[in-house]
Amino acid sequence: MQCREVNPHATQVRIWLGVEWDDPQRGKHDGTYEGTQYFKCRHPRGGSFIRPNKANFGVDFLTAVKNRYGLNDEQDAQHGTENTLVFGKKTVEFVGMDSIAQQQSQLNQLVDISLCECAVSHAGQKEEISRTCANIRHINLSKNLISSWETVAAIASEVQNLETLNVSGNKMKFPSTLTSVSSVFSNLRVLALNQTAITWTEVLLCAPGWPRLEELYLTSNNIMVLERPDNVLQTLKLLDLSDNQLLDGNQLHLIAHLPRLEQLILRNSGIASIDFPDAGFGCKTKMFPSLKHLVINDNKISQWSSINELDKLPSLRSLQCHNNPFMDTEKNPETLRQLIIAKISQLEVLNKSEIPPAERKGAELDYRKIFGNDWLAAGGNWNPEKNNPSEEFLAAHPRYPSLCLKYGAPEEGELRPQQPSTLKNQLLSKRPEMVKIFPSASKIFYKLCFLQSMTIQRVKGLLYRLLKIPGSELKLSYESSKLEGKEVELDNDLKPLQFYSIENGDCVLVRW
C-alpha cells in the first residue's frame, strides 16, 4: 500500500492511498491517474485509490493475540475484575481476581496460536511477545497485513521454540540478497508460504535460516523456474509446489537430489511429462532417492511413457494422478487402474486406494496377457535364446520382461484372438448357467444367463425380481468346475463377474 497526494481539482487538495489488491478484479487501474503514475501494480487493473479513513493499517501481534484469546485493556476496564478467556471451544471465567494478571498467566500457557485474518501488520514492542507468550510453538498468521519477511522474523525472534509457522496469504517482500544466518528459525519444522509472491530464488536465499525444516508449502506463488538447492533444504521431507506453472518437467531434475524428500506435491503445476534420463529400461534412477509419495493431479501428462518413468523411482509407494490427459485413453476406470498398477512395480496406494496383493497379481497377469501378441510381434519368444523384443516395445512396456520372469512368458493359448465383443459373446456360456438357490433347507435350481460385465449388485437385482428377497439379504458364492469342492464368496457388490474368473460350467450359489 502506498500513500500519494492526488490533486484532481486545482482548488481542492486531498490525500488518497494507492492500493494494489491481492485480487486484481477489485482494482480499476495500474496506479495511474490522469496520465501520472503514482504507484506500480503487477496487474494492469490491480490498483485503486481509497481515502485514508477507509484503510485498516493493522495491529501488532500481541494485540491480536489478546483480542483472539483474551481481553484487551479496553475490555478489562469495561468488565472490571471479571475476565473470560477462550481456548479453542472452552471458555474459562475468572471472578474477583486481577484480570490483567490472569490474562497474562493464561496467555503464557498458549502453545498453538491461530491469528488467521486478524489484521496483524507488525511485531509490536520488543520482548513483549516473549514475556507474555513464552511457550508458543505453532503460529498461524495466514491472511493478515504482513508486508515483509523482516516482520515475520521480528515476531519469530521472540518465540524461542517455534516449530510451525503459517504466513500464507500475505503478499510480502523477501530478501533479494543472501543475508547473515540467524538462529530465529533454528527449531522451525513446518513452514507455509502459500500465496506470498515468493520466488524460488528467494526461497533459497532464506533457506540457510531454516536448518531443520521438514515441510515447506509454496502453493500459488507463480513459481516457474527452479534452481538446485545446494547445501540448503537438505532436511526437507515434504515439498508442495502445487498451483505453480513450472516451465516443464525438467525443472524437477533441479530438486531431484534432496536426500530426505519423501513427499512431493505437484497438483496443477503445468507438468506435461516426467522422465529420468539417468536410468534405462528396468533400472532405478538416482533422482529422488527417498521419495515415497507423489501427487501429480490436474496436470497435462498425456503419454503413458511418463507413468513408465515413475517405476524408476526406487522408493515410490503412493501415487495420485487424477485429471491428466493420459487417463482419457482408457474409458474403463478399472482397466485404467490395473494398467497403472502393472506399470509401477512397488506402488502400494493409487489415488488414495490401497493395492492388495491379489489386485496387483491380477493386474500384472492381465497386462502380461493383453500385450503378449505385441511382445511376440516385436521379437519376443518363448525360447530365452531367441527372445529379443525391440527397443520400441521395451520403451512402451519396460516392465514386460520382469513380468515374464515373475510369472513366465504368456502361453500360446492365452494369446488367441478374442471373439468380437457382441452381447452373445459376452455371455458366460452359450447355454444358460445353473444357479442353485438355497431357501432354508430346500434347494431350487434355475438356469439363467449372465453377462461377464454384470456386477454382483446387478445380479442381486435380477435375483430380487425372481425371488422377492432384498439384495442386502442375499449371500452369493460360486463353485468352479475346475476346483471341485471349493466355494468362492462373491463379496464385493461393485465388482463384475469376470473379476472372480467365473467361467462356463461354474455354478452360482444363492443363500439368505
Which residues, including other chains, have CB under 8 Å from residue 304's CB and lie 6 or more apart?
326, 329, 339, 343, 396
Give burial (CB, 10 Å; 0-12/13-18/19+) of 259.
exposed
Q: How confident is the model at residue 433 (pLDDT cuts 50, 70, 90)?
A: very low
C-alpha cell at 96: 474477583
Calpha distance 246→209 (Å, rounded): 25
Q: How confident is the model at residue 63 (pLDDT cuts 50, 70, 90)?
A: very high
Is residue 424 predicted with pLDDT exceeding 50? no
Q: What beta strand segments (E) does 280-432 contain?
A: 293-295, 318-320, 349-350, 353-354
Condensed to tens digits (0 to 9), the pLDDT of residues 227-270 reads 999 999 999 999 999 999 998 889 999 999 999 999 999 999 99
In the numeric block, the cell 501415487 is attached to 319
Closest CA to 62 of 126, 117, 137: 126
Query: What is the CB-side half-sphere exposure of residue 63 using CA atoms within 13 A?
Result: 13
Least confident of 170-184, 238-252, 286-300, 441-455: 441-455
What's CA 286's distance to the chain center, in Å? 24
Query: What pLDDT was estimated at residue 31?
Result: 82
Q: What is the pTM of this model?
A: 0.74
Instruction: Compute the average pLDDT of residues 321-331.
Output: 93
C-alpha cell at 254: 533441479
Closest CA to 209 of 172, 235, 173, 244: 235
C-alpha cell at 325: 490427459
